Amino acid sequence: MLLIRKLSRSIKKDHLLSWQSPLADECIIGRAAIRQCPRAYECHRSVRSLFDVERDGFASRLIRSGVNRHCGASFSSFVETVLVQARDPAKLSSELVTAIDEGRLDDAWKLYELHMQMDGFPRKSVVHKLIVSLTETLDVQWLNKAYGLVERAFEEGKQNLFEKETLIYLSFGLAKGGLPVAASTILRKLVDMEGYPPVAAWSAVLAYMSQTAPGAYLAAELVLEIGYLFQDGRVDPRKKSNVPLVAMKPNTTAFNIALAGCLMFDTCRKAEELLDMMPRIQIKADTNLLIIMAHIHERNGRREELKKLQRHIDEAPNLNDMQFRQFYNCLLTCHLKFGDLHSACSMVLDMLRKAKEAKNSLAAATFAFDGTRKGNDLIGGVVSDQSHRNSRLESLENASLKQQAIVSYEEFSKDRKFEKLQAEAEQALTRFLAKLQAQVELVTTHRGILQPTENIYVKLVKAFLEADKIKDLADFLIEAEKEDLPVSNDSSALVHVINSCISLGWLDKAYDLLDEMHLAGVRTGSAVYSSLLKAYCKANRATEVTSLLRDARKAGIQLDASSYEAMIQSRVLHDDTQGALNLFREMKDSKIPRLGHQEFDLLVKGCAENSEASLMSKLLQEIKEGQRIDCGVHDWNNVIHFFSKKRLMQDAEKALKKMRSLGHAPNAQTFHSMVTGYAAIGGKYVEVTELWGEMKALSASSPIKFDQELLDSVLYTFVRGGFFARANEVVGMMEKGNMFIDKYKYRTLFLKYHKTLYKGKASKFQTEAQLKKREAGVTFKKWVGLH
């Protein structure tokens, strides 16, 4: 301004220009250029000759006249800056609106940037129009630009440029366009500026955010942050001033979406935090929420919580078949996790008994579920099989792809209650629930009757064999066969299990099971004896061969030619010529044909060729690929979780010590309970630091995996306490593992508790430890974007 005043006085004095000229600014530019750069004098006439042309033409003519060439880059930038300022903001704003209306977004964005250089942000209505147009494209490039515009305005304190509805629409578009971090940031800014979005709107944003792992994590964080405002009756709904705030309160749909997202991406400890919040803000559970809760309890190994939930499930009036299947699948899975084979077997046998009664008596209606309930997948009440469920899931996915186009802002603004957005949220929830249904593998239903699948038999057999409970396994399988179908010779589940044990080389276990069959009075064919005899012969175990042959004779089993040939060959290898001759005479006297009964190899081949793999082949795969479960870890984790939740940390520490002494290695869930317990008490940063040291040592010496939820809870504790050196270590581990980190949360946390920390220059009188602490704090501050 001072330069302009001096120039104006100089120009008036020389009478070179009338100040009524519309191009006074251009004249000032030329005059200033001449004074700053005498070498430009030869360009002066060219500059003055341009006074009667358009402003835009002046710029190019000025550069062509040689000013840039003679005065260098500094003068060029000076000219361009002042030329931009010389444009008429009103005209530029009008051109921007025209470009938006005509759909020329590239031109519109260039005009917007020009306006920002010239006069800052355009007026409110133009900004709104630009954001809406960019959002409606659902193009990632334009969505990012719209988000950047909003972010810059907030940084400059100009949030009044935006209406609440504009930001809600942008947040929805960002979420639908696959930008969950930006979408959540807009929602958080809305809450901060008290532009509370109604739950019908922001739950739709959650629905699209939850389709990626980072988005699902952020969705849970948002529900927790918004729900915190309403905990323990903090907001009085009777006050008129609280009406907009109350409209934002999370509802059952919002919780269902956030919880389902946690299940999809296996962040179930975060889901547990949501469950803990529900009673504190009076959320009522619907049938979907009950089933989602069951999945979460099963994933976290909360068997007692599942048992408590069972009463609500059994009493719920409108649960459908699929929901019942999901709950009992979760309960069975949890029994297996804890190694409670008795409870699991009791459930399976109870299902078989009820199914048998329903089939064989007119009392079937007592045990059948109401055929009018919603959710039956096939006509006649027969629930669909896995392939049908998969096709249903695929159709839902296809439907979701057809709904990618965003609702226009015109329709959006007319829908004052956000009913269309709420409908999209519910559709997304339906897709989440369909994916959960597809994971059910242990329980099915037939005409409304719960029945066990082959998979539960496989898992039970594996658990019994690993626990070396052969008698219990035989008792269970024999009882199950009695309830299900009459026991057959070579196709019973028990025979399949024996054959599987033979295939795995567990010959003694196979023999023990065969003994248990005889003791229970169950007869079997010759195929299983033949398979076991040949396996013993191959292993050169002559004593067991003799014993098994004697048992076969007692049972009246006629062995085939291949069995005799294997035994004869084994005797020859052991130089027992007389024994080999005796077996040959026995074979000849019995007139055993050369082609015997079905061989074990044929059984295996048949299993492999069968389109629906039998119990035997599934068992082989499960045992070969599955890992042995340490049931004790689940028990101790529940004990530690209980003490931590009750804030009895001394008891939790004792439990952890006892757990280690018994040889059970703590896992991520163990440490998570301890860290959150210390955080709830507050001030226990030294204890968390010790746990962090142990976690680092474990990760270096064992294959233990620390997940995002655990590291996030540790990071939160360190930032809250100002332990930035440790916090940077956690950040490093998370970034190395490509884990998502919610920087917005940590920036907010830093500003809340350490706003005045590390401002200005460092004091000269500091110890080396203090300097390192400051350096760590500054590093973290830069990482969260607080330069």
Report whether pLDDT(376) > 70: no
- What are the tokens at 497? 């299990």
Average pLDDT over residues 74-103: 69
pLDDT of residue 263: 95
Alpha-carbon span 7 to 58, nearest angstrom: 19
Give the closest residue to 344 by CA, choosing from 482, 447, 442: 442
Lowest-pLDDT range, 193-197, 306-310, 386-390, 534-538? 386-390
Is the pLDDT score of 297 beyond 90? yes
Whose CA is closest to 534, among 495, 489, 492, 503?
503
CB-CB neighbours of 223 under 10 Å: 25
Amino acid residing at 213: A
Amino acid 619: pLDDT: 59
At 592, the pLDDT band (50, 70, 90 cuts) reads low
From the list 98, 261, 101, 286, the residue with the least C-alpha distance to 184 is 261
* pLDDT on residue 21: 37
| % of the chain surpassing 70 pLDDT | 76
Q: Are 31 and 6 in contact (CB under 8 A)?
A: no
The pLDDT value recorded for residue 34 is 39
State the residue for tokens 């969705």.
Answer: 219
Q: What is the DSSP letter of 43?
A: G
- Distance CA(655)–CA(638), nearest Å, equals 10
Arithmetic mean of pLDDT, 125-146: 95
Q: Stretch 507-528: mean pLDDT, rounded?
A: 82
Residue pLDDT, tens place only, 543-568: 888 888 888 888 777 777 777 777 77
d(CA 289, CA 222): 18
pLDDT band at 55 (very low <50, low <70, confident <90, very high): very low
Residue 442 pLDDT more than 50?
yes
- What does the pLDDT average to over 137-160? 94
Exposure of 496 in the CB half-sphere (CA atoms within 13 A): 23
* Mean pLDDT for the stretch of residues 529-542: 84
| pLDDT over 90 percentage in the chain | 43
pLDDT in tens, 742-772: 999 999 999 999 988 887 776 766 788 888 8
Using CA atoms, how far residue 396 sits from 400, 431, 595, in Å, is 6, 6, 54
254 pLDDT higher than 60:
yes
When pLDDT is cut at 50, 70 and 90, the band that residue 362 belongs to is very low
311-359 pLDDT, tens digit per residue, is 888 888 888 889 989 999 999 999 998 989 999 999 999 988 888 887 7
The better pLDDT of the pair 201, 611 is held by: 201
Pair 170, 147: CB distance under 8 Å: yes
pLDDT for residue 488:
45
**Does the pLDDT value for residue 61 go beyond 50?**
no
pLDDT in tens, 622-672: 655 655 667 788 889 999 999 999 999 999 999 999 998 988 888 899 999
Token pair of 213, please?
A: 């792992």
Element (H, E) at 164: helix 164-176
Task: Determine the pLDDT at residue 626.
Answer: 58
Which of 293, 338, 334 has the alpha carbon at shortest distance from 311? 293
| Section 440-456 average pLDDT | 85
What pLDDT sits at residue 615?
58
pLDDT band (50, 70, 90) for residue 404:
low
Q: In the beta sheet, which residues pair with residue 443?
A: 452
Higher per-residue confidence, 678 vs 565 = 678
Reported as a single tens digit per residue, the pLDDT across 406-428 is 899 999 999 988 999 999 999 99
Q: What angle do CA 363, 366, 371 make, to 5 degrees?
A: 110
pLDDT in the model for residue 629? 63
Burial annotation 153-172 (CB, 10 A radius, 16+ → b, else e): bbeeeebebbbbbbbbbbbb
pLDDT of 51 > 90? The answer is no
Does the pLDDT value for residue 9 go beyond 50? no
> Does residue 179 contact residue 140 with C-beta atoms inside 8 Å?
yes
Distance of CA 477 to the CA centre of its chain: 38
Nearest Cα neighbor of 501 from 545, 541, 540, 470 is: 470
Average pLDDT over residues 228-235: 90
Q: Comparing C-alpha atoms, which of 188, 392, 464 is closest to residue 477?
A: 464
Whether the per-residue pLDDT at 283 is higher than 60: the answer is: yes
| Chain segment 689-732, per-residue pLDDT in tens | 999 998 988 887 777 788 999 999 999 999 999 999 999 999 99
Which residues, 6+ apart, have CB-to-CB distance to 128 below 8 Å?
A: 162, 163, 166
pLDDT for the residue numbered 192: 92
pLDDT at 229 over 90: yes
| C-alpha span between 102 and 121 (Å, rounded) | 21
- The CA-to-CA distance between both ends of the chain, in Å, stands at 31
pLDDT for 46: 37
Residues 6+ apart with CB under 8 A from 261: 206, 209, 210, 211, 215, 216, 219, 220, 432
How would residue 262 be classed by pLDDT, with cut points 50, 70 and 90? very high
Poorest-pLDDT segment among 11-20, 76-85, 318-327, 499-508: 11-20
Q: State the average pLDDT over residues 48-72.
A: 39
The DSSP element (H or E) to which 452 belongs, if any, is strand 449-452
Q: DSSP letters along 647-681, please?
A: T-HHHHHHHHHHHHHTTPPP-HHHHHHHHHHHHHH
Whether the per-residue pLDDT at 372 is higher than 50: the answer is no
Which candidate, 328, 368, 327, 366, places its Cα nearest to that of 348? 328
Q: What span, in angstroms and rounded, lies between the C-alpha atoms of 392 and 415?
A: 31
Per-residue pLDDT at 385 exceeds 60:
no
As given in the structure block, the two tokens for residue 218 are 């952020």
In whole angstroms, how far apart are CA 309 and each of 45, 340, 351? 90, 19, 19
Q: Which residues pair with 449 in a beta bridge?
A: 446
Task: Work out whether the CA dihedral 95, 97, 103, 104 comes out positive or negative.
Answer: positive
Which has the higher per-residue pLDDT, 122 or 55? 122
> pLDDT class for 48, splitting at 50, 70, 90?
very low
